[in-house]
Chain A
Amino acid sequence: MRNLRDRLGRELLILDGAMGTMLQSRGLALGELPERMNLTAPAVVREVHAAYLAAGADILETNTFGANRLKYGNDLASVVSSGVRAAREAIADSGRDAYVAASIGPLGKLLKPMGDLPFEGAYSLFREIAACALNAGADALLFETFTDLYELKAALLAAKDACALPVIATMTFDETGRLLTGADVVAAATVAESLGADAVGFNCGLGPKQLLEFLPALVGTVSVPIAVNPNAGLPVIVNGRAEFHVSPEEFAPDSKKLAEGGASLLGGCCGTTPEHIRALKNALQGFRPSYPVKKRRTIATSYAQFAEFGRAPVLIGERINPTGKPDLKRALRENDMGYILREGARQADAGADALDVNVGLPGIDERELLPRAVEELQSVLPTPLMIDTANAEAMERAARLYNGRPILNSVNGKQSSMDAIFPIARRYGALVVALTLDEDGIPATAEGRVKIAEKILAGAETYGLGREDLIFDALAMSVSTGGGALAALGALDEIRHRIGANTSLGISNVSFGLPARGKLNAAFFAAALARGLSAGIINPLDRELMDAVHCHNVLTGLDADCSKYVARFADAAKAEPAAPAAQMPLREAVVRGLQDAARAAAGREMSAGRAPMALIEEELVPALNEVGEGFEKKTVFLPQLLMSADAAKAAFEVVRAKIAAAGAERLSRGRIVIATVRGDIHDIGKNIVRALLENYGYTVTDLGRDVAPEMVVEATLREGAPLVGLSALMTTTVESMEETIRLLKLSTPAKIMVGGAVLTEDYARKIGADFYARDAMAAVRIAGGVFS
């Protein structure tokens, strides 16, 4: 029989229909795992396969959808091999030719950071399944019903590492055309193809009619063959159970439209039967698909959003980069991820389409910090990220952990750079920024830079990457050293228009060393956009740059009805900044939870010469106490307490900046380590406690969520913290809280306070805690006692 890979996309191939419902009707009991039947009742499984073969299926999907180590332990290999065998035997009995695709579904666990399964754990589980399928003699792997792009990434990486079998990846979208985790068809399909899926498509969730609506987006995105396995319509709930009522006679013509629309692998999912497959086969008799054309789109994605280069200018926020930013340097040294998250959120809110992430700083291990920063940003923001580092190992780790299709920043024309970076881009399906410099430095002329771009493109092709995977940066240089910026502009123009690749520039470099940088940057940005620049690496908080791009978009018809232009400029004119709040005293501003007023009041007090300590002791702390007491008496709500905390924090920052400027030590009432215990991934309660403790002047080391007992002990010893706060929200995780307390008591003198929904005073004592904090104010009071 011919190799399946050679037939994909060139012939119409029929997949089979539902397995689970067929097994249920043949005796699968409620609560029994369906794949177990491969071992206990292989004849029944074989019979289902035989029915689909007789109906005309060219590819059988094995009864292994839920087979993984979490469910089957050491039986996994035999469940998979008996599943493949059942299909093979059915094929042999039928006398027909057909392929066996090993069906592989999601693991039923959510990946970190949203869930508790580490990415590498998911990778290993999938790798094991893929290896079992290979050993069992499957012809292909069929990943199906994926609703989480991150899990599909783990699965595809594992499949490619485990075997050379063709991989078909189908995902389940909801009626709005999104995966459960938020990606739309374009973003999800981009990631699946970039990670090497041999065919991409839809299954389950919807019927053929609904999937037909989403097909054009898929066809317009990927250059690999397309697979669609619809349900027999939308589910109809009958007596609390989902039933599917689209008949074979309706199913087949709709499926034919899917084939005409570009799908070349067609079958069915829930509710489909051999009759549906037979009708499908008959309707598609003699149909010849045309092989997908190469799309050459340049798309970066997160888990939810995408940014496409070569259409409207892509704005890449440059602010997460410690160069010239003392506050960010401090935050990185102190492991303060909150700072990075706020910086990311501000840029996204200001209109950044992607964010550059650079955490390179002497004395910092980028291999640890860069993946962590990427993960933290991705747990909060849906903006695609650009991984910016000179450290290839850090880049690879971050690219691997990244949820989506990242941009790597950067490769250049040096052979050593290409040899280090292109394999990472290839393996993780990334886009790469390519700097037009090489062993001989940066050419002074446009021609020189274009030559390097051509060299880089040739190098990329040897690694299986194309021009659509590259974004050439023609290098904006400071014009203060003479020579102007025409080399960069000329080079980007030629790269864009002759080579046909996308381009980027770090805009603000151009004005380095000159006054009125904003004006020069904006003029340069406008000029570069006019020459065809695809992406600016910019500060999106810079109004002049953002004005420039809005003007460009109107002038080039990208904002054809001028709606964005009008929204920006007409509304901005209306929304004049409100008159500064009357001079509200600091204490009142904090009590009322007004950040701006509190910041202003603190500034006034400091300029008037008030001592920082006096301001804290006489204004801030009494204000916080007033609100805290109100909270305890239930006259103030939690959000109000937290608004006051934010206002106090804003005031503290003014005071701290003053102290730092005077070169004095930071004030601290004492060190406290806090964490949510292992196995527990709640953190809002813990974050609230941290915010209030910091407000009261404590230095808090926040270890995050799902923290191993050993980590808590290690941090407590390292910080010399006399007080540790532990949080657990679940009865099941109170066990790891108890374990953490036991270890802490063995090796540190620290006092321990605990909190969380399931705890009570008695329960807290029983597991060995020194204090029970029923809420955040209680934690403040406990700290007050310990440090008094």
Chain B
Amino acid sequence: MSGIPEKEVLRYLGNAKPDQGLLLLIRSVSDELRSEIRPAGVSRRMAIAVSEKATEVGDFRFESAKLAKNLAGCREAFFVAATLGAGADRLLRKYAALDLPRASVWQAACAAMLEQYLDDMQETLLPADSGLFLRPRFSPGYGDLDISNQRAMFQILDLGRRLGMTLTDGYMMLPEKSVTAIVGIGERRRAPGAGCAACPKTDCASRRDGDAESPR
């Protein structure tokens, strides 16, 4: 069972200075998430072919220079997905209608829980002595990787059947608290120029300035 780092919840909330009331609320939400929500995830290791502007996996082709840059030098990648499930959405709907302060913390805590779950899952993907490194997660909708690539992620990972995930016509994932990502397997830790700097959303509150730092 993965945790929900309080520091990350505060970061998603905008990095202000919390008072006692807010900390209590965060703890209460974290407790509820831990008792009500069971994250689930899947991964699949696949051979990839990376060119300058695209990444190919079997018959699938991901058109994105940013992704290609992130995966430069990788011959394989993990395709991963995780979701907090329908319960997290149900409760968010409830709080969005009945208790907005709790809903706002719920959002942030769900994001933190999901990221932590993916981090934990990634820890187990490679044997400790493999000598290989995982690149930062890269998701459809991020940079120039069009969100419609979710369709391919769903097929590769069979997400409908395995995690009960669905896509709206606008390629939004449901349950909403879900992530799909491509994680390169490389001999070097990171491709140059990846991470926050690769993202076009320059006014993002979570953006880390400077070089090629990824968000975590």
Task: List the interface of chain A (C-beta within 8 A of B).
Answer: 29-32, 106, 108-110, 113-116, 145, 147-148, 176, 180-182, 204, 237, 239-242, 337-338, 341-342, 345, 376, 379-382, 592-593, 634-640, 642-643, 645-646, 679-684, 687-688, 691, 729-733, 758, 760, 774
Given A31-B59, A240-B42, A240-B78, is A639 in contact with B168 using a C-beta cutoff of 8 Å? no
Determine, out of B94-102, B127-135, B186-194, B208-216, the stretch whose residues face the partner at the interface.
B94-102
Q: Are B170 and A732 in contact (CB under 8 A)?
A: yes
**A379 CB contacts on chain B under 8 angstroms:** 90, 93, 97
Docked CA distance A29–B86 (Å): 31
CB nearest to B152 among chain A residues: A31
Decide if B197 is an interface residue (CB 8 Å cutoff): no
Complex A-B: 21 CB contacts under 8 Å? A30-B58, A31-B60, A114-B90, A115-B168, A116-B172, A147-B164, A148-B164, A180-B86, A181-B86, A239-B44, A239-B45, A240-B43, A338-B97, A379-B93, A593-B101, A634-B16, A638-B104, A688-B100, A730-B147, A730-B172, A732-B171
Given A29-B59, A634-B16, is A242 in contact with B162 using a C-beta cutoff of 8 Å? yes
Docked CA distance A636–B16 (Å): 6
- CB of B55 to closest CB in A, whole Å: 15
- Which of B21, B97, B167 has most chain A Cβ within 10 Å? B97
Given A381-B94, A639-B101, is A240 in contact with B44 using a C-beta cutoff of 8 Å? yes
**B164 CB contacts on chain A under 8 angstroms:** 147-148, 180
Docked CA distance A380–B97 (Å): 7
Q: Which 7 A-B pairs have the closest CB atoms?
A: A240-B44, A732-B170, A180-B164, A642-B101, A116-B168, A639-B101, A30-B58
Selected from A108, A110, A639, A679, the residue in CB contact (under 8 A) with B25 is A639
- CB of B60 to closest CB in A, whole Å: 6
Extra inter-chain contacts (16) besides given A638-B14, A774-B203, CB under 8 Å:
A31-B59, A32-B59, A114-B89, A204-B161, A239-B44, A240-B45, A242-B162, A376-B97, A381-B94, A637-B18, A638-B104, A639-B25, A680-B170, A681-B172, A684-B103, A684-B104
Selected from B15, B86, B90, B98, the residue in CB contact (under 8 A) with A634 is B15
Decide if B85 is an interface residue (CB 8 Å cutoff): yes
- CB of A315 to closest CB in B, whole Å: 20
- Which of A29, A639, A643 has most chain B Cβ within 10 Å? A639
**A732 CB contacts on chain B under 8 angstroms:** 147-148, 169-172
Selected from A341, A634, A691, the residue in CB contact (under 8 A) with B100 is A691
Docked CA distance A180–B107 (Å): 20
Decide if B156 is an interface residue (CB 8 Å cutoff): yes
CB nearest to A630 among chain B residues: B16
**B90 CB contacts on chain A under 8 angstroms:** 114, 182, 379, 382
**A646 CB contacts on chain B under 8 angstroms:** 100-101
Q: Are A642 and B104 in contact (CB under 8 A)?
A: yes
Task: List the interface of chain B (C-beta within 8 A of A).
Answer: 10, 13-19, 21-22, 25, 38, 42-46, 58-60, 78-79, 85-87, 89-90, 92-94, 96-98, 100-105, 107, 141, 147-148, 152, 155-156, 160-162, 164, 166-172, 174, 176, 201-203
- CB of A129 to closest CB in B, whole Å: 16
**A639 CB contacts on chain B under 8 angstroms:** 13, 22, 25, 101-102, 104-105
Docked CA distance A642–B103 (Å): 10
**B14 CB contacts on chain A under 8 angstroms:** 634, 637-638
- CB of A397 to closest CB in B, whole Å: 22
CB nearest to B172 among chain A residues: A730
Docked CA distance A32–B46 (Å): 17
Q: Are A643 and B44 in contact (CB under 8 A)?
A: no
Docked CA distance A369–B31 (Å): 36
Docked CA distance A601–B91 (Å): 32
- CB of B41 to closest CB in A, whole Å: 10
Docked CA distance A129–B36 (Å): 36
Docked CA distance A108–B164 (Å): 8
CB nearest to A634 among chain B residues: B16
**A638 CB contacts on chain B under 8 angstroms:** 13-14, 104
Q: Are B13 and A29 in contact (CB under 8 A)?
A: no
Q: Are B100 and A642 in contact (CB under 8 A)?
A: yes
- CB of A422 to closest CB in B, whole Å: 33
Given A116-B169, A240-B43, is A29 in contact with B58 using a C-beta cutoff of 8 Å? yes
Docked CA distance A588–B42 (Å): 49
**B94 CB contacts on chain A under 8 angstroms:** 345, 380-381
CB nearest to B202 among chain A residues: A760
**A145 CB contacts on chain B under 8 angstroms:** 161
Docked CA distance A181–B176 (Å): 13
- Which of A147, A239, A732, A774 has most chain B Cβ within 10 Å? A732
Docked CA distance A547–B160 (Å): 47
CB nearest to A680 among chain B residues: B170
- CB of A63 to closest CB in B, whole Å: 15
Q: Are B98 and A380 in contact (CB under 8 A)?
A: yes
Selected from B58, B107, B148, B160, the residue in CB contact (under 8 A) with A31 is B58
**B156 CB contacts on chain A under 8 angstroms:** 30-31
Docked CA distance A242–B163 (Å): 12
